[in-house]
C-alpha cells in the first residue's frame, strides 16, 4: 500500500481510539508545513471561557533499525 502524502500546508487529524490515560492525546494526525511533515497531537481542555484545544507538534516518529529488525523477526 502506498503511503499517503499530505498536500503542502494541509493536514489530517483523527480521534485517538487508543487513548488510555489523560496524558495520551484526544486527537492525532499529521500536517505538512512548507513541504515538511509534522505529527500533531491535540488535547481537549476546559478553560474559563469554555473548551479549547491544547496542541503539540513534533517531527514524526521513525522506528529505529532494531525496532524494524524485531518486527521482521519470525519466531522459530
Q: What is the pLDDT of residue 43?
A: 98
- Cα separation, 57 vs 33, whole angstroms: 11
Residue 71: pLDDT band (50, 70, 90) is low
- pTM value is 0.75
Three-state DSSP class for residue 70: helix
pLDDT in tens, 6-50: 899 999 999 999 999 999 999 999 999 999 999 999 999 999 999
39-63 mean pLDDT: 94
Amino acid at each position: 500500500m502506498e503511503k499517503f502524502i499530505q498536500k503542502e500546508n494541509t493536514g489530517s487529524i483523527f480521534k485517538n481510539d487508543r487513548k488510555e490515560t489523560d496524558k495520551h492525546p484526544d486527537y492525532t494526525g499529521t500536517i505538512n508545513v512548507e513541504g515538511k511533515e509534522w505529527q500533531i497531537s491535540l488535547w481537549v481542555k476546559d478553560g474559563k471561557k469554555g473548551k479549547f484545544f491544547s496542541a503539540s507538534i513534533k517531527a514524526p516518529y521513525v522506528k529505529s533499525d532494531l525496532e524494524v529488525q524485531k518486527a521482521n523477526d519470525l519466531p522459530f
